[in-house]
Chains A and B, each alone.
Chain A
Amino acid sequence: MADVVERLKELWGKYDELEGKFKDEMDPIYQEPYYPDAAEKLYNPDKPMQNRVTDIGPPYYWQFLPPVVKKNYGQWKSHEIIQPGVIKRVAESGDVIYVVRCGTPRLETTDYIREICEIADKYCDGYVRWTTRNNVEFIVDSEEKLKALLEDLKNRKHPGGSYKFPIGGTGAGVSNIVHTQGWIHCHTPAIDASGVVKSIMDELFEYFGSHKLPAKTRLALACCLNMCGAVHCSDIAIVGIHRKPPMVEDERLQHVCEIPLVIAACPLGAIKPATVEIDGQKKKTVRVNASRCMFCGNCYTMCPAMPIADGEGDGIAIVVGGKVSNRISAPKFSRVVIPYIPNEPPRWPTTVKWIKKILETYAEHANKYERVGDWIERIGWEKFFELTEIPFTEKSIDDYRLAYTTYRTTTHFKFTKHVDEVKIEV
């Protein structure tokens, strides 16, 4: 074992010499076997600083670029999506590569990653990359390899019949859903993530592997208002919301929470300090003005003694029309169109139904190149609600900060069926 420690130190020497910037060759550490008990030899709990390596950052990306990418780095000339999920890229040098994009569930096991490695070893000399939307990309340098790779990918399935590596995610289609942890691993979610995403993508599967929409359509899911990921600027997004104010555990609160921080955490100032008597003992705690609570859950993030999640209260809000790209129109926020749908595990049918309805209404009515938000701005929100048959309620009228900027300050509007729903009672 001493040899292993020596060996690792020797390899560290190489890393150190180059300050980790392996360019022409890959860090030899990756050719070295994994030693399952090396860490126990290196780490001494009594002397935690001994052998500790810190602040080295991620591996230098350059060493993981395929040779053809290194050669043509910054010298790409053009690209063409030759079929959904397959991008042909041509370099100034004349080199050609084919990038095959596959959806992944994002939540996966090391065996799934190993299977990706097996594919990358077989067709791509071991190089592989992921996109910002949890798709994996395999890069091959000939049409023969491309053909073989596509055939191979199509035939890889899980025991239940789902594809392991569905090909798509390019062009005017639905790409993979950026999402969060949900019930599988998060402590503040209002909804699950992976299960909802699976249910939606099963239903929208044909749009992942095709180019039949008016423009690219970006879906996202956040399991609470913290919104890890750009949910607030997506074409169609799902957000987990709470609808009951937090409970206050008086006997526990002062032991587990910083009361001033909890009070400051409330964006609406709905939390104030309080003292209660429990079994003759005075306890510092807080009180929540429920009528001012907007159920953001920020207090629970700060204080474990204020649980807010509730099986009956929690659910899904659907927001639409946002984007991040500057193409044609400026980036914009998504807007709440369905304020609440109950959690319906395991398949969330109501949520799936509405998402599909919105997507297909958009597909039917939008012009070429129009993102969901651009389409809605052209036709007007009243028309959007009419076409999608989503009931418009007072919940879609903003009453938070800058709400006034969303009110209609013009007589420019369309006479959809909504107009006749206004009845004046005197």
Chain B
Amino acid sequence: MSEVKKHDTPMVDELKKGPWPSFVDDIYTYGEKHKKQACFDIMGQLELSYKHKETHWKHGGIVGVFGYGGGVIGRYSDQQDKFPAIWAFHTLRVHHTAGKWYHTSALRKLCEMWDHRGSGLVNFHGSTGDLVLIGTTTEQLEPTFFDLTHQLHWDLGGSGSNLRSPACCMGKSLCEWCLYDVQDLDYELTMHFQDELHRPAFPYKFKFKFSGCPLDCVAAIARADLSFIGIWRDEIQIDQEAVRAYVNGELKPNAGAFSDRDWGPFDIQKEVIERCPGKCMYWDEKEQKLYINNEDCVKCMHCIAVMPEALKPGKDRGVCLLIGAKAPILEGAQLSTVLVPFWRPEPPYDDIKEFIYKIWDFWMENGKNRERIGELIQRIGLNRFLTEVVGIKPIPQHVRVPRDNPYIFWKEEEVPGGWQRDIKEFRKRHPA
């Protein structure tokens, strides 16, 4: 192996200091050990970006693997003479596992493959959720894909105007609050919609995210076109003895999450009862008993999070389906809004799959180029989307407040006698 060419990177080197793990140290150490010119060149280019305060990656680049329209993102340096080893530096998105669990035998093999095929740089994980392999040449794309599929039984994730790699929280694998099997639903929908994931046919990107409870650790409500958030509808399960143990200071509130500051003794009235957004809780000091009016509970999880040993979500569990979240581009940021307040997901989730097709069919027919489903719903109105597209009865849970203007688009058939009127008859009653 020939000697590598190093670049002077005084500014980038500053990022070796400080306690937080230094990506600079990592990349340089790796580059030295494996004699990878790409590592030195990318640090060199970053130094140049620090000098110019501008990126040195060219716009886009259409590359991919045969038969797929996504999963690979083309990247070319605009400093080809200075940094030839990163002249072409494409990204592959590798579909993460549900819940981001791995075994080292798979990871080591993936690493070995990537040392051989690419720069050795990775993201664990990209924002959408994929494992990101950063930096290889066009010639290496097909061999990398063949290595992934034949030697790792692993597929690429989504990019472009398609279904992006779905993502979920840790779910039932570790969390006692998970209200439906997020990993199973994630996996089943991922496998069912492989065609939509690899072959862009949508107006723009589409994301599914699955959170097991309303704490929403995967940020589904902020990021996903379809957000699946676990919810329950019956009574919170109470262990009164454990409640008393919290009140008496025998158990740590919030599972120890506030341990490094003296917030004083636990005060159930102040910390739980008064913070409840449904105002549905009552602590009877005399009886030493907690009462919950579950009809008024909005399932915010606060009381459960504060007293996890004492309170558990109810037993009648399902998923709340919300639609339309997105970041600002184009029309401004949106959070997902309630679509189906409660759904009991049952494998193999055929009803959910069919429902998704219904939404996609409409979007693909009516969506403008680069219009997310949330923007399309804004454009046509949630009321029309509910009644005319997905056929869901509108209910108060769909809105925060009813509209404040009476500018309602009445339909002709809703008005007795229709819209065809006789002006002559009108004038007989009302001379001009």
Contacts and interface: CB of A to CB of B under 8 A. Distances in A.
Given A38-B146, A113-B111, A347-B14, 18 more contacts: A54-B67, A56-B194, A76-B172, A78-B255, A105-B22, A108-B26, A130-B125, A132-B169, A184-B46, A192-B49, A227-B328, A267-B330, A309-B54, A324-B216, A328-B277, A345-B49, A346-B14, A346-B15
Contact of A129 (B101, B198, B277): B101
A107 B23 contact: yes
B147 interface: yes
Interface in B304-327: 305-306, 308-309, 327
Contact of A171 (B20, B135, B181, B258): B258
A29 B301 contact: no
Nearest to B33: A111
B106 A30 contact: yes
A408 B259 CA distance: 38
Contact of B60 (A136, A187, A198, A230): A187
Given A58-B154, A132-B167, A187-B58, A109 B30 contact: yes
A345 B216 contact: no
Interface residues of A, number: 155
Contacts of A166: 19-21
A107 B132 CA distance: 9
Contact of B308 (A78, A103, A114): A78
10 contacts: A54-B194, A59-B154, A104-B21, A106-B124, A108-B124, A117-B111, A192-B49, A233-B221, A333-B333, A343-B53
Contacts of B105: 26, 30-31, 126
B335 A331 contact: yes
A392 interface: no
Given A131-B100, A296-B328, A325-B215, A211 B302 contact: no
B286 to A, nearest CB: 26
A185 interface: yes
Interface stretch (A43-51, A280-288, A413-421): A43-51
Interface in B94-114: 94-114
Nearest to A76: B176
Interface string A52-84: 111111111101110001000110111111111
B67 A52 contact: yes
Contact of B120 (A110, A189, A194): A110
Interface centre among A31, A131, A132, A225, by most chain B C-beta atoms within 10 angstroms, is A132
Interface in B251-276: 252, 254-261, 263, 271, 275
Interface string A247-282: 000000000000001001101000000000000000
Contacts of A129: 99-102, 170, 173
A57 B93 CA distance: 12
B124 A369 contact: no
Contacts, number: 472
Nearest to A232: B333
A34 B125 CA distance: 23
B296 interface: no
A385 interface: no
A198 B329 contact: no
B369 interface: yes
Nearest to A331: B221
B153 A15 contact: yes
B18 interface: yes
Contacts of A194: 23
Given A108-B23, A185-B57, A232 B327 contact: yes
B151 A38 contact: yes
B99 to A, nearest CB: 6
Given A57-B194, A73-B173, A76-B174, A327 B106 contact: no
Nearest to B78: A187
A293 interface: no
A212 B261 contact: yes
Nearest to A184: B46
B260 A211 contact: yes
A111 B25 contact: no
B149 interface: yes
B395 interface: no
B222 interface: yes
Given A58-B96, A103-B20, A195-B50, A117 B301 contact: no
A107 to B, nearest CB: 5
B59 A187 contact: yes
Given A30-B106, A117-B108, A39 B128 contact: no
Nearest to B194: A55
A186 B329 contact: no
A211 B176 CA distance: 22
Contacts of A369: 254, 271, 275, 302, 306
Contacts of A198: 15, 18, 20, 22-24
B121 interface: yes
Given A130-B125, A199-B15, A310 B54 contact: yes
A264 B370 CA distance: 9
Contact of A103 (B11, B21, B75): B21
A224 to B, nearest CB: 9
Interface in B6-51: 11-12, 14-27, 29-30, 33-34, 39, 42, 46, 49-50
A205 B19 contact: yes
A112 B120 CA distance: 10
A377 interface: no
A378 to B, nearest CB: 12
A351 interface: no
A220 B19 CA distance: 19
A324 to B, nearest CB: 4
B376 interface: no
B167 A54 contact: no
B300 A326 contact: yes
B53 to A, nearest CB: 4
B150 A38 contact: yes
Nearest to A322: B222
B11 to A, nearest CB: 4
Interface stretch (B183-191, B379-387, B405-413, B418-426): B183-191
